[in-house]
A and B are shown apart, each in its own frame.
Chain A
Amino acid sequence: MAKMTLEELRKLRETKKTEMARHNGETMRIIVGTGTCGIAAGAMETLDAFRDELESHGLEKNTAITQTSCMGLCFSEPTVEVAVPGMPNTIYGNVDGRAAHRIVKEHLIDKAVVADHVFEKPAADIIDGEDGAPRKQKRIVLRNCGVINPELIDEYIARDGYAALEKVVFEMSADDVIDELTKSGLRGRGGAGFPAGLKWGFTKDVDSDEKYIVCNADEGDPGAYMDRSTAEGDPHSVLEAMAIAGRTVGASQGYIYIRAEYPLAIDRLNNAIAQAHGHGLLGDNILGSDFGFDIELRLGAGAFVCGEETALLASIEGKRGMPIPRPPFPAVKGLWGKPTVINNVETWANIPMIIHKGSAWFSGIGTETTKGTKVFALTGKINNSGLIEVPMGTTLREIIYDIGGGIKDGKKFKAAQTGGPSGGVITEEFLDTPIDYESLQGIGSMMGSGGMIVMDEDDCMIDVTKFYLEFSVDESCGKCAPCRIGGRTCYNILDKISKGQGSLEDLEQLKVLAQAMRKASLCGLGQTAPNPIMSSMKYFEDEYLAHINDKKCPAGKCKDLLSYTIIEDQCVGCTACARVCPVHCISGEVKEAHVINQSQCIKCGQCFDKCKFDAILKG
């Protein structure tokens, strides 16, 4: 494809739109989700199985098989959407070779839905329905994820892709764009929630020979993958938004800083950049105008602190990713000392839609202070783990129970952690809090970048807090003492408590250290690292006290406070426990009560899981 002019782009969009609409009405389609998660669960084998099945039924000519990215239904990967003219579109979960066989035979040939592979919730939530039924989810950022083939630019264009860039290049002034962005109320989705319009305005107003646009795709929060899925599923939305920012603030070069651990996202972004170049949507004279803009990828190398913007910029410059004090903010003095607009993937992905549909549309969604939607990676002890996008103001209860399907194995909900190692826990009593930046902060947690980990009664808060602290200690760059030494000391205290060696003074010490770290650390990492401590101590004080005073771990997680013993009267001597024990520390004759040698036991719990007679006591 040669470089296009404005007219050619518009013509291509119309042609593709008609083509896709016709396609949708006439042909049968099988769409397989091949994101990282899907591939790991066997989506490629599923794809092959469908090809074989179609061929064996002679259907390969009039059925289109396409790939798309993550639909967000991670709990039921591989997921497949099937569209048959005259029938409602159906999303199937857990589709292996056998299910593929049945879907082709029953759905495509006999026109009957394969009911036992349909997951009503939350799959029904994300299909564009004509029935007008209310949906819990609203997809703006993920609008194309699981819908288009991310490797084909034309499919993005057909869904109004690059229409916003068109508008910005030919119709709007820089002030118009910033005004529109400001009125939309969009706030940075990386966690801090800074108004995007304001940020762009700062950079636009600085006089400089060079400016830069940066996309932060260094998604470091363990247990979060919103940005990876967006980059994999809809790479052009990020490119388009960055070009819009370039035009607005007067920059000609953009960088996407992405984790090296995301190979598929890297491939798809590189592919998208090449295609956009081919179409004349990146490079010199975009769409025949005088505006030129280019984007290059830079790989991260596994440093959580590089999510902090000054550290990220240092890393792009090829240095150790250490933060520097702000101000000056990157908006004024950033990459190589030049004014730099830096936003994260989710923020960028919102922007083309805001420009295309207008700020009034966007600001009509959400709450008073927080507009739009939020993408969450819902994981942990939840039935329907996956990627979801909900309007701001949705309550946690709706997310966990209506969309997430409740807690796994009928266990009791204990807490949800948002904001990862920088956030805090949300307990049962706050489940009806409508989500926005302020309300989450008000209850001692934070919006964060979108990780939402659900914990049940088997999870120990001291153990989880220790896990987060270990993470922060490991990821501290070591530049400032409050973070480097404070974090380590907090971790050591938590470790002591988890081993039953803590004292009440330790709790006081933790509070003092946490305050000091908050106030004196140089960057966000150190300032927020004590949040999990403060939050868990506030809401789960009794659990801390149980570890300290009673030397007990109520959740039965902390190994040093745990022992397994066999109840003599209940043991029938079936030897199942002795056979499963990896360290062979269970002895006893057949049909006689067994005994666990406590000095050798590694407390792995396998005997406990294996025993069918409830003869093993955990406590």
Chain B
Amino acid sequence: MTASTGKEKILTPEIEAFIEKWRGKPGNLIMVLHRVQEEFGYIPRDAMFEVAAALDIPVAKIYGVITFYHFFKLSKPGKNQIAVCMGTACYLKGGQELIDECERILGVGLNTVTEDGEFSVEAVRCIGCCGLAPVLTVNGEVFGDVGTRQIAKIINQFEGK
């Protein structure tokens, strides 16, 4: 499999340097995919082909790995990523209600992006802040002890930013 010839390369020189560093190490694929997702927020299709060529691993195998793990995304998330914790402690304290409210306000379901590309909502596994349950994060910033009534305010805070 050759990389998309003729097209401009999608992998940045930094990622290529990272691949170079990991090339000789067995089992490097997942680490490389982490690096790609760190850059783009997801794993673009073209990047997958370029990784395949660089590591000499079939695209089918890479696709298999990406789809096996929850962490890897194949589509671009919203500019602002809302992640509602659905660990047990957060669930017991109303995590599902927070998701319902986000969906209601934004008019999208889980793992879909709003039409303007501003927001996406996902349910995530325990982020380990059980003492602050229920918890949600927006772009990694943690909001603890959140009630459904605060959701609109939190979303407004990030709108258009």
Contacts and interface: CB of A to CB of B under 8 A. Distances in A.
Interface in A460-491: 464, 467-468, 477
Interface size class of B (residues with CB under 8 A): 35 or more
B64 interface: yes
Contacts of A301: 30, 33-34, 69-72
Nearest to A306: B69
Contacts of A468: 88
Interface in A369-421: 377, 379-381, 385-386, 417, 420
Contacts of A322: 68
A317 interface: yes
B141 to A, nearest CB: 9
A328 interface: no
Interface stretch (A172-180, A220-228, A358-366, A561-569): A220-228
Contacts, number: 134
Nearest to B126: A222
A590 interface: no
Given A303-B70, A318-B65, A385-B89, A379 B97 contact: no
B148 interface: yes
Contacts of A40: 129, 132, 135, 142, 144
Given A477-B68, A604-B100, A453 B92 contact: yes
Given A222-B86, A417-B88, A317 B26 contact: yes
A467 B123 CA distance: 13
Interface in B119-161: 124-133, 135, 142, 144, 148-149
B89 A223 contact: yes
Given A417-B88, A582-B101, A37 B129 contact: yes
A57 interface: no
B7 interface: no
B30 A298 contact: yes
Interface string A571-586: 0000000001010000
B128 A299 contact: no
A336 interface: yes
B29 interface: yes
A302 B69 contact: yes
A316 B129 contact: no
Interface string A53-78: 00000000000000000000011010
B151 to A, nearest CB: 10
Nearest to B65: A320
A321 interface: yes
Interface in B38-82: 64-65, 68-72
A381 B34 CA distance: 36
Most buried by A among B92, B129, B133: B92
Given A262-B128, A380-B92, A381-B92, A604 B148 contact: yes
B149 A606 contact: yes
Interface residues on A, range: 35 or more
Contact of B87 (A77, A222, A455, A606): A222
From A39, A40, A300, A602, name the one whose CB has the most chain B CB atoms within 10 angstroms.
A40
A380 to B, nearest CB: 5
Contacts of A185: none
Contacts of B64: 320
Interface string B78-110: 000000001111011100010011001000000
B27 A420 contact: no
Contact of B91 (A319, A381, A467, A477): A467
B132 A260 contact: no
B89 A302 contact: no
A41 interface: yes
A439 interface: no
A36 interface: yes
28 contacts: A36-B129, A37-B131, A40-B142, A77-B132, A222-B87, A222-B88, A222-B91, A223-B88, A225-B126, A261-B71, A261-B128, A300-B71, A301-B69, A301-B71, A302-B70, A319-B65, A320-B64, A320-B68, A379-B131, A379-B133, A380-B93, A381-B92, A385-B131, A467-B88, A467-B91, A468-B88, A582-B148, A604-B100
Given A303-B68, A380-B88, 16 more contacts: A37-B129, A37-B131, A41-B132, A74-B130, A77-B132, A222-B87, A223-B87, A261-B71, A298-B30, A319-B65, A320-B65, A321-B69, A385-B130, A459-B92, A464-B92, A604-B100
Interface of A: 36-37, 39-41, 74-75, 77, 220-225, 228-229, 260-262, 298-304, 315-322, 336, 377, 379-381, 385-386, 417, 420, 451, 453, 455, 459, 464, 467-468, 477, 580, 582, 602, 604, 606
